[in-house]
Amino acid sequence: MIGSEAVSAGNGAQVSEGMGTSTVRVIAAAAIGTVFEWYDFTLYGSLATVIASRFFAGVDPVTGFIFALLTFGVGFIMRPVGAVVFGRIGDLIGRKRTFLVTITIMGISTVGVGLLPSYATIGIAAPVMLIGLRMLQGLALGGEYGGAATYVAEHSPKNCRGFNTSWISSTGTVGLLMSFAVVLVTRVLTGDHFDTWGWRVPFIFSVLLLAISVRIRMKMEESPAFRALKNENRLSRSPLKDTFLDWANVKRLLVALFAICGGMTCVYYTAVLYPSFFLTHTLKVDPTQANIVVTLATLVCAPLFLVSGWLCDRFGRKPILMISFVLTALTLFPIFHAMTRYANPALAQAQANVPVWVAADEQSCSFMFNPIGSRRFTTSCDIAREALTEAGVSYETRSAASGQPASVHIGERVVAAYDATGLKAGDVKPKSAEFAAQLRGALDSAGFPRKAAPEQFNKPMVFLLLVVLLALMTLALTPTAPALVEMFPTRIRYTSMSFPYHFASGWIGGLLPTISFALSAQQGNIYFGLWYPVAWIVGSFVIALLFLKETKNVDLGADF
């Protein structure tokens, strides 16, 4: 795969063979966006508590943190919009100029967060401006991945597209580690001032990333396939119409969304995001301990993106993708069960030895879906189930007489729940405290730990489990870029490949932690929420088996 000869990409377009100097520059120009994305993603997530205190000081701390997380989620919601907006521009004026614009918007938005006045300075305008910047960044991210993948693939020969585009995904680790490093150094240097002004430094530091990104992308040339189409006057006059109103292309969009992106994004999120949530929130592992293991596993698995890229060039996109779907669907439950045994063995033992159930009038039990954290559960059934879920305890729900208050049964002990419907906050507080104390006492007596014991945390085994998840993720994610690029004609490729990818990332994968948590709470089983990603993965496997065609030898310059 090393060399520098030019080979035909169809219709007179020329691309550089293998990993010559020009190809390295192309990959670097595209991959810098992924570095930026993961830098900001990790940065905002790790500083959400501080941001809540700076920009949502007008509300109570819990509500402020919820608003901070919502602001984070706005970026996911805007991604499909960005895919349509910048996809259209990319198909009209070119890949290079479009993702030069997207990286600039991303950089300005990130730096802008660090420069924003706080709530104490300008009041409600502060959170409004923060949300606006996050929306801008989500918009830009919607146009970034499609442009980067298209640009690299259109510069690559057929036998190297998977390998070359795999660099885009692998460099996300660089952004992750850079974010951790900048935050750590800033905390050390600013000390007690970090929460007042030091938190701004990591955001403002991204101006350096912006300058490097713009400099690299300014030097790049337009992709060969787009140049050839432009020279022959065959560009689409209306990319949105040709993408969404042409039935032949709509069918390709549906296959891309349901056969590739839906399953892939669930594999991705269950490997990259959900383990941290599961370890810290459900298993009560110390966040620092969990983050170290997750980061090390992510770092070790970074080279696997390149291996997966080579594999999908060698054997095809479809086989590698489907192998990932099958292996993930088969191993997801065993891996998370094993994670409990090795991360919090006391919880696993108590769960196996002590039956826990909630006896309640089923009509008083709601569906435990709380996507924005603002909903308050007030019936005795909901209060009991919510408390057990927060404690990371699996339970059953059994029917009780109509109108009877719910009760929690932990082995031989019974704790009566209270009903808060119609009660004022002042009346709820003592009842809540009493119930929490009695429930915690019963759980303690039964051997359910409040937190995972650090000395019982089996780092090597948890690390290996995470490596398996991440390895399967690379097998799903890496073939996605070349497969999506190869599915669509050049004249609408940017728009068509960006939309299904970012719709899945924002709405299917972005909601995964919330939906999985709600399903687990509803069913009373800490693992039940895994059925959400498994259902998507299995569904994608079946649709891919029936409708997905192999594309690795497609001529990117040809009309469809």
Tell me the per-residue pLDDT of 517-554, one tens digit each, with 9 for 90 and over.
Answer: 778 888 889 999 999 999 999 999 999 999 999 999 88
316 and 464 part of one domain: yes
Tell me if 254 is assigned to some domain.
no
For residue 462, pLDDT beyond 90: yes
* Mean pLDDT estimate for the chain: 86
Q: What is the pLDDT of residue 31?
A: 85
Q: Is 491 exposed, middle or buried (0-12, 13-18, 19+ CB in 10 A)?
A: buried
Q: What is the pLDDT of residue 256?
A: 97
Percentage of the residues of the chain whose pLDDT score is greater than 90: 44
Tell me if 495 is assigned to some domain.
yes
**Residues facing 359 on adjacent strands:** 398, 407
364 and 332 part of one domain: no
Tell me if 282 is assigned to some domain.
yes
Question: How many domains, in total, are found in the chain?
Answer: 3
State the Rg of the chain over Cα: 25
| Mean pLDDT value across residues 216-239 | 86
For residue 73, pLDDT beyond 90: no
Tell me the per-residue pLDDT of 317-327, one tens digit each, with 9 for 90 and over.
Answer: 999 999 999 99
544 and 435 part of one domain: no
Tokens found for residue 488: 């669509």
Domain extent at residue 409: 353-445
For residue 45, pLDDT beyond 80: no
Tell me if 34 is assigned to some domain.
yes
Least confident of 17-21, 169-173, 276-280, 312-316: 17-21
Here the CATH number for the domain that contains residue 208 is 1.20.1250.20
For residue 147, pLDDT beyond 70: yes
* pLDDT: which is higher, 44 or 175: 175
312 and 369 part of one domain: no
The span from the CA of 160 to the CA of 295, in Å, is: 29
58 and 31 part of one domain: yes
Give the number of other CB atoms < 10 A from CB of residue 521. Answer: 24
* pLDDT: which is higher, 29 or 7: 29
Q: What is the pLDDT of residue 327?
A: 98
pTM: 0.86
210 and 137 part of one domain: yes
Q: Is 289 exposed, middle or buried (0-12, 13-18, 19+ CB in 10 A)?
A: middle
Q: What is the pLDDT of residue 72?
A: 67
Pick the last residue of a domain from 445, 480, 505: 445
Instruction: Give the residue carrying structure tokens 């948590």.
Output: 517
94 and 209 part of one domain: yes
Tell me if 241 is assigned to some domain.
no
164 and 30 part of one domain: yes
The span from the CA of 50 to the CA of 194, in Å, is: 9
Tell me if 452 is assigned to some domain.
no
360 and 507 part of one domain: no
31 and 150 part of one domain: yes
Tell me if 410 is assigned to some domain.
yes
